[in-house]
Amino acid sequence: MSYSLDTGSDETVSGTSVNVSVSASAGTHTVHVKALGDKGAVCVTDVAVTVSNVTDNVVADTSVVPSGSTSVSGIQAMNNWKASHDSGANGTSSGTTSKVGSPTYSGTSRQFVSTYHNGGAVRYSTGFGDNTTSTNFLYDAWVYLTSSASHIANLEMDVNQTMPNGNTVIFGVQCDAPSGTWDYTENLGTASHPKGHWAHSGAACNLHNWSKYKWHHIQISYSRTSTGHITYKSVWLDGHQSTLNHTVFGARSLGWGSSLSTNFQLDGLGSSGSSTVYLGGLTIYRW
């Protein structure tokens, strides 16, 4: 067998598979693989890969996850993702989502293509299991932005859990470009009469300053009490920790039944626009 990277020369390897380390610059590349068979038969395939800058692939503090915790990985590749306009936002919006092979951080990625008018917002969501008893979570994902991120006001990442009493806790965190902060959601009303509110944490975040066409690592930790009070603990962006340390009420009586779900929401900026964003390596830990 032989392989080459982009327009480089062929390198020969023995055996029926290729397992080698290759140096490459950050960006999109093509790996060409060639297998030789009997009587001169040749099989050739091209594989698209995306290389991230090594300095950006910093692993956040996973010491917050104890041994014996439960995790669900590859959530971005699940088949039951749905797109809907967020009726709580202004304006109108629409979106489509699909699995893609490039760009990819680890395996299949999910592409989100959104169109906004007058500040509309598209919510993408999927269920990933049933659990009412876990009280601690770590959201772990990789996000890839294009130049169209200039049309995004907020990038929101939520985990929703129904508790044993039937109320649903919404753990919501967003990177708020207009305010330049990490925000968290809270319920200023009661469970039966909720009043959702986004609060600025004071920790800096502006996705318009994120590097484009490369993967960014986001991890968010939070916990809850049996009464539905949430403590937002920390957010890591490319390995850099921002401490939130805010405790708020977050339970709502929504009648969702026993479920775990996650939202990936993109809010539009300005009178109109569109964006394309990718999500990869989404793992949610609970204990």
Render pLDDT for 34-86 as a digit per residue (tens, 0 to 9): 666 665 556 566 655 444 443 344 455 677 899 999 999 999 999 999 999 99
pLDDT at residue 40, rounded to an integer: 54
Instruction: Please report, for residues 152, 189, 197, 274, 284, the alpha-carbon distance to residue 176 in angstroms, rounded to integers and kept in the order given.
Output: 9, 23, 14, 17, 22
Give CA–CA dist 249/252, Å, rounded: 9
pLDDT mean across residues, the chain: 88
Give CA–CA dist 28/50, Å, rounded: 4
Mean pLDDT of 152-179: 98
Give CA–CA dist 229/222, Å, rounded: 11
Q: Is 112 in contact with 97 (CB distance < 8 Å)?
A: yes
Residue 50 burial (C-beta neighbours within 10 Å; 0-12, 13-18, 19+)? buried
- 234 forms beta bridges with 221, 243
Report which of 1, 33, 29, 36 is spatially closest to residue 15, judged by C-alpha positions.
1
Give backbone dihedrals phi and psi of 90, rounded to 5 degrees, phi first: -80, 170
Give CA–CA dist 278/212, Å, rounded: 11
**Residue extent(s) of CATH 2.60.120.260 domains in the chain:** 57-286
> Could you tell me the end-to-end alpha-carbon distance of the chain, in angstroms, rounded to an integer?
46
CATH superfamily of 57-286: Galactose-binding domain-like (2.60.120.260)
| 3-state SS, residue 189 | coil
Q: Is 97 in contact with 229 (CB distance < 8 Å)?
A: no
21: tokens are: 């380390």
Percent of the chain scoring above 70 in pLDDT: 79
* Least confident segment among 32-41, 82-91, 180-189, 195-204: 32-41
Instruction: pLDDT band for 128, please (50, 70, 90 cuts).
Output: very high
pLDDT at residue 25, rounded to an integer: 40
Give CA–CA dist 206/182, Å, rounded: 8
Mean pLDDT of 186-195: 98
